[in-house]
Structure 1
Amino acid sequence: MLDDIGELVCAESPSGDLVAVAGCARVVAGLGTRLTGVVPEWLDGSGRPALRWRFGSGDRVLLLGHFDTVWPVGSLAAHPFGVGGGRLTGPGCFDMKAGVVQLFHALSVLDCLEGVSVLLTGDEEIGAPTSRALIEAEARRTGAVLVLEASENGALKTVRKGVSSYGLGIAGRAAHAGLEPHRGINATTELAHQVLAL
């Protein structure tokens, strides 16, 4: 497992570098194929790969994860993969390349994988812009979803916080507050009027 984690961590995969993410996806595909005997489907969302394995119906449990990281290419020079003092270190080791390796090693020792699906994406760190619909569709068709992303002190996480992005445009009209305030429109007032109009 340590060798597999090392290989995967050394396949740098910052979300914004599609070439690097695709290269890492090939490493993940090879790892999963070697340990399960099944070649994944390569799903391409605008040049950003996701990998899916289905065993039989694949509708009992979905094992979900990602292989992209926040670390730019070249981070290994300052933060090389290493094992020492009971710790693994290296870019993406914690989030979540060790989890990906654990996932496949766990599957490799099970007698039957009927009903299991695995979905690993390459855009989680940027909010899953191309894989969100795929994740939702896969989750809907299975009885349970387990995410093998690490958590602090190895605790079992039953919920995760989410993020939202909003764009807000506010219009006003500039005017000199001392000489001609009546010609201006305060952007805050205009925003309040727009909200009330909704």
Structure 2
Amino acid sequence: MPASRSRAGARATQALGERIAGRATRLVGVSSLRKVDRTVPDDCTGVVRIAYESAGIELMTGIGRAGDNGVTHIYQRARSLGAVHQGRPQRGDLVFFRETYDRDRDGRRDDGLTHVGVVERVEANGAVTFVHRGSKGVARGKMDLRQPRVHRAQGSKAVVNDYLRRASRGSRAYLTGELFAGFASPGPLARAGTVAPPR
């Protein structure tokens, strides 16, 4: 591929990510997605769907596997398109987490993928800020995969990794870095050609 086409593709992907991240940012502080869009669930999948639909990408397409939740459906589709990665994320990437709650209420950590957000910012040191639907509405979360089990920086109040799974009887709380499952880039999802309805 000629260098000029490669650079143009990289710029287009960056612009796509900026648009997605910008839409996610504007959702921060919203207590219920019902105030924004009644066609998506008022949960973590609703946030990422609104953000991606602003760039013309529909995340919930096709028929998922029986028993899969929305997060797993989005992850499986992203993986089938080659979008899932473990490398340094970019603005607008999806970020997936596993075992963030006891989905089947059996007391075990066996629930697979349960949470998703949109990468809003990546610091020079690799620390990630993402936007997601938390228990109190749409908020920012922090994650640093270099220090997955550290909540606050030593001698500081700065959050390194936010808590994402609450402590429960017989189980401690877990941090974002501990529950991280992968990233997914928007480029392959956009190239798949599944266009979201205008919002």
What's the TM-score once normalised by structure 2's chain length? Answer: 0.25
Q: Which has the larger radius of gyration?
A: 1
TM-score of the two chains, using structure 1 as the length reference? 0.25
